[in-house]
Amino acid sequence: MKLYDGGRAPNPRRVRIFLAEKGIEVPLELVDMGAMEHRSASLTKRNPLQRLPVLELDDGTILTETIAICRYFEALHPEPALFGKGALGSALVEMWQRRVEMHLFLPVAQVFRHLHPAMREWEVPQVPAWGEANKPKVFAFLRHLDEALADRPFIAGDDYSVADITGLVSIDFMKPAKLAFPEGLDHLARWYHTVSGRPSAKA
């Protein structure tokens, strides 16, 4: 198999961190997103939606979408479980992964895509008012997450999970989006220090 990787972009990084946590090595082919190579004929054939990452299996089967790729590896290599265990445990990881994705990852992406000059060719049309409207959404969810982290080490409970990966990548994505990590969210800061100190965070 081969993973078409997008370098510094947040979705490719989510998959690389996931693989590092699992201890799985997959051959990577770096696609230069800055040069718009993810919109090349070769990549468009593999993913008509022109997004990365793309996983190509040995028989040519294509799998796209970050979380779908992660779930595939979870099924092949169940340990350590990053999508939770048991009916309720798995559902709670899914709940938190989706909350973080919809209320943090996506709003940070909107701020970046609609306000950063480098995104002019990527997000057509840029709607700066929509970028601005997402800033308070980001900070409201960070406060919510801080409260949730008051009584547990990781976002979905006692164990590190894919929800922490999405959370870490979202917060690191705040830097290019020019959003400052807010003061006074001590539980969130403690969690961020822990997860960003894991070796996988360098992936």
Where along the sequence are the contacts to its own copies (CB under 8 A)?
A: 48-49, 57, 61, 63-65, 67-69, 71-72, 75-76, 86-88, 90-92, 94-95, 98-99, 103, 125, 127, 129-130, 133, 144, 147
> Between residues 41 and 76, which has the closer beta carbon with respect to its own copies?
76
Terminal-to-terminal C-alpha distance of the chain = 19
Burial environment of residue 59 by CB neighbours within 10 A (0 to 12, 13 to 18, 19 or more): exposed
**How many angstroms separate the CA atoms of 182 and 36, rounded?**
33
> Between residues 123 and 194, which has the closer beta carbon with respect to its own copies?
123
> Between residues 106 and 189, which has the closer beta carbon with respect to its own copies?
106
Q: What is the nearest approach in angstroms of its own copies to the Cβ of residue 2?
A: 16
**How many angstroms separate the CA atoms of 183 and 186, rounded?**
8
Helix axis angle, 10-22 to 66-76, nearest 10° = 10
Q: Which residue has the tokens 């979870």?
A: 74
Q: What is the nearest approach in angstroms of its own copies to the Cβ of residue 28?
A: 19
Q: What is the nearest approach in angstroms of its own copies to the Cβ of residue 156?
A: 10
Determine the length of the chain: 203
> Between residues 102 and 175, which has the closer beta carbon with respect to its own copies?
102
**How many angstroms separate the CA atoms of 152 and 159, rounded?**
9
C-alpha dihedral (98, 103, 108, 111), degrees to nearest 10: 130
> Between residues 36 and 196, which has the closer beta carbon with respect to its own copies?
36
Q: What is the nearest approach in angstroms of its own copies to the Cβ of residue 84?
A: 10
Q: What is the nearest approach in angstroms of its own copies to the Cβ of residue 78?
A: 10
Q: What is the nearest approach in angstroms of its own copies to the Cβ of residue 201?
A: 24
> Between residues 67 and 142, which has the closer beta carbon with respect to its own copies?
67
Chain CA centroid to CA 152, Å: 21
